[in-house]
Amino acid sequence: MPANDDVVLSIRDLSKQFGRGCEYCSDENYELQKNMCPHCHTVYAVRNTSFDLYKGEILGIVGESGSGKSTLMKMLYFDQDATSGNYNLPEDLTVKGNVFNVSSQKKRQIRNEQLGMVYQNPILGLKMDFSSVTNIAEKLIASGNRNVGEMTDRADHFLEKVNIALNRKYEAPKNFSGGMQQRVQIAKALSNYPPILLLDEVTTGLDLSVQADVLELIKEIQRDMGVSMIVVSHDLAIIRMLCDRTMVMLDGEVIEHGITDQILEDPQHKYTQQLVYSIL
Amino acid sequence: MITINDFSKSFTIHHLNQTREAVNGISFNVEKGEFLGIVGESGSGKSTILKSIYGTYKPTSGTVHYDSDIYGGVDLHDISDRSLIRLRTREIGYVSQFLKVMPRTTTLELVINSMLEMGTDIDTAAKTAEDTLRHFDIPKALWHNYPNTFSGGEKLRLNIACAVVKNPRLLLLDEPTASLDENSKLKVRETISKLIDNGTTLIGIFHDLEFMDGLCNKVYDMNTKTLEERVI
């Protein structure tokens, strides 16, 4: 029976700690206070996390603030180094084995060609003073594209796809609303046709109607382009609408995972139950 | 096609420190092309059984064996999430009492999307979706409306349309006739008859016992835990 078919991203035993650790917390069975060692104050932001992302699916990650969701995403996008763990991209034939161990030049290449990232805060993903077209061109140039005509065409194509009027394409995103900035970020992230898209709380802080626009866009991208996505959110309604499978994180650990309706209708863990009971 | 063996399901509610038993020791089987009706009073665990076949609930004990086209014989709770999702997309349909949809998705898009998930091309999907909506008497004027403006009956018919448009091998129906008027019930009955003729296996929960007459080959009574065969 095919269980591991179509894996595009595979993570094994991924951990990230802030601090050096001590003789107490280096023992796996030692009980931390939430995710912090009470002796040396080392924070274990992500602990022994393993999962696979399949072709064309949307994987949701939910959890409270400080549960390690964003740290996990930052490690996947090489914004932050992992303390330990294995990261494989089986579909990328140019790299074999653990992607965390490749050179920084190769990491940049993977980031530009295999991954797209949309941050909760558009300031992290966009150069706010440069035009939308330039922002998109930046990603294309980084991956070796030097043809100005082609880059402009590509920028037009994706800006149209995310419903940004082309007569505003030379405007800087700082003049745009939050929802528009988020859509420019999505256009930039998609511009290289990456097989994997990482979305970190992309609808947080947006009003309901703009939120619906972004959700619609994400679903459309999945359907039309077959892009695999990891969506981080603390909004379970969004997770229910978008995600095929869901992982629940608490204090840096994955406490529960499964098909989204299994998690929402038959939650097993105490924390997941509280989360589900809190849906408005 | 489906064999449920000594199936039990309990729910642990952590904040009350309680475990509630929903169903205990259920066994039955449904052959290909049969229609099993599940009856029983409210709270007897009918929906629990249906959701466990669909994989939403994991059993506390027992097995749910399914003869799949793609994978052969499998225990639905012993396969990977990915395989179960594939079975749901291609083989197993589920009609719930409630319609939950993406915001600002029109009725027509909703039915089309159900087919696109299976890899159907857009032209075929659009044509089949239109035919299906017509069959379920959802007026053309509503095709470009959002379903959250619909009446209960319209939502239910749309829900059934989204499931049957995929032509599933196994269709699970959770009270598909609740809140429907006589005419709509007739439409559902007609569709079910057509599905039976096409060889679709069906398992349904019904309060309307009259509706089941002449459709179900088997009836499972949750109260007495007995399976009764019927001649149609």
DSSP letter for each residue of A154-184: HHHHHHHHTT--GGGTTS-GGGS-HHHHHHH
Name residue B226's beta-bridge partners: B221
The per-residue pLDDT for range B130-168, each reduced to its tens digit, is 999 998 888 999 999 999 888 877 888 898 899 989 989
Residues of B in contact with A259 (CB under 8 A): 55-56, 81, 84-85
Cβ-defined contact of A244 to B11 (cutoff 8 Å): no
Amino acid at A271: Y
Q: Which helix (H) or strand (E) holds A248?
A: strand A245-250
pTM of the model: 0.91
Give the residue on A whose Cα is nearest the Cα of B83. Answer: A3
pLDDT band with cut points at 50, 70 and 90 for residue A2: very low
Tokens of A153: 């065409």
What long-range pairs does A90-96 form, CB within 8 A, spacing at least 24? Answer: A90/A7, A90/A8, A90/A10, A91/A8, A91/A55, A91/A195
> Within 10 Å of residue B231's Cβ, how many Cβ atoms?
4
Cβ-defined contact of A216 to B13 (cutoff 8 Å): no
Mutation for B interface: A231, A262, A271, A273, most B CBs within 10 A: A262
DSSP state of A230: E
Give the residue on A whose Cα is nearest the Cα of B12. Answer: A268
Task: Nearest by CB to B56, from A3, A223, A262: name it.
Answer: A262
Cβ-defined contact of B55 to A215 (cutoff 8 Å): no
Distance separating alpha carbons of residues B53 and B50, to the nearest angstrom: 5
Cα–Cα nearest to A227, from A53, A57, A7: A57
Cβ-defined contact of B103 to A215 (cutoff 8 Å): yes
Residues of B in contact with A262 (CB under 8 A): 55-58
The answer, yes or no, to whether residue B232 has pLDDT greater than 80, is no
Is the separation of the CB atoms in B9 and B54 below 8 Å? no
Measured in angstroms, the CA of B66 and the nearest CA of chain A are apart by 14
Cβ-defined contact of B56 to A258 (cutoff 8 Å): no
Cβ-defined contact of B84 to A54 (cutoff 8 Å): no
Is the separation of the CB atoms in A182 and A121 below 8 Å? no
Q: In degrees, to the nearest 5, what angle opens at C-alpha B215 toward C-alphas B211 and B219?
A: 85
The answer, yes or no, to whether residue A199 has pLDDT greater than 50, is yes
Cα–Cα nearest to A16, from A95, A100, A89: A100
B226-229 and B218-221 beta bridge pairing:
antiparallel
pLDDT at B137: 83
Residues of A in contact with B11 (CB under 8 A): 266
The per-residue pLDDT for range A218-272, each reduced to its tens digit, is 888 888 888 999 999 988 989 999 999 999 999 999 999 999 999 999 999 999 9
Measured in angstroms, the CA of B186 and the nearest CA of chain A are apart by 31
pLDDT at A3: 46
Domains of chain B, first to last: 2-229 (3.40.50.300)
**Range A166-171 average pLDDT:** 95
> Within 10 Å of residue A34's Cβ, how many Cβ atoms?
12
The per-residue pLDDT for range B165-220, each reduced to its tens digit, is 998 999 999 988 877 788 888 888 888 888 888 889 999 998 878 888 888 889 99
What are the C-alpha distances in Å from A31 to residues A25, A251, B120?
8, 12, 52
DSSP per residue, B34-77: -EEEEE--TTSSHHHHHHHHHTSSPPSEEEEEEEETTTEEEETT
> Within 10 Å of residue A28's Cβ, how many Cβ atoms?
7
The reply to whether A218 touches chain B by the CB within 8 Å rule is: no
pLDDT at A163: 87
The per-residue pLDDT for range A28-57, each reduced to its tens digit, is 888 888 889 998 999 999 999 999 999 999
Residues of A in contact with B100 (CB under 8 A): 240
Which residues of chain B have a Cβ shorter than 8 Å from any chain A Cβ?
11-15, 51, 55-58, 71, 74, 79-85, 100, 102-105, 113, 116
A58-62 and A196-200 beta bridge pairing:
unpaired
Residues of A in contact with B82 (CB under 8 A): 2-3, 5-6, 54, 57
Residues of A in contact with B15 (CB under 8 A): 270, 273-274, 277
CATH class of segment(s) A4-114+194-279: alpha beta
Is the separation of the CB atoms in A76 and A198 below 8 Å? yes
Task: Nearest by CB to B85, from A223, A244, A269: name it.
Answer: A244
Least confident window among A149-153, B109-113, B190-194 = B190-194
Distance separating alpha carbons of residues B13 and B26, to the nearest angstrom: 22
DSSP state of A101: G
pLDDT at A232: 96
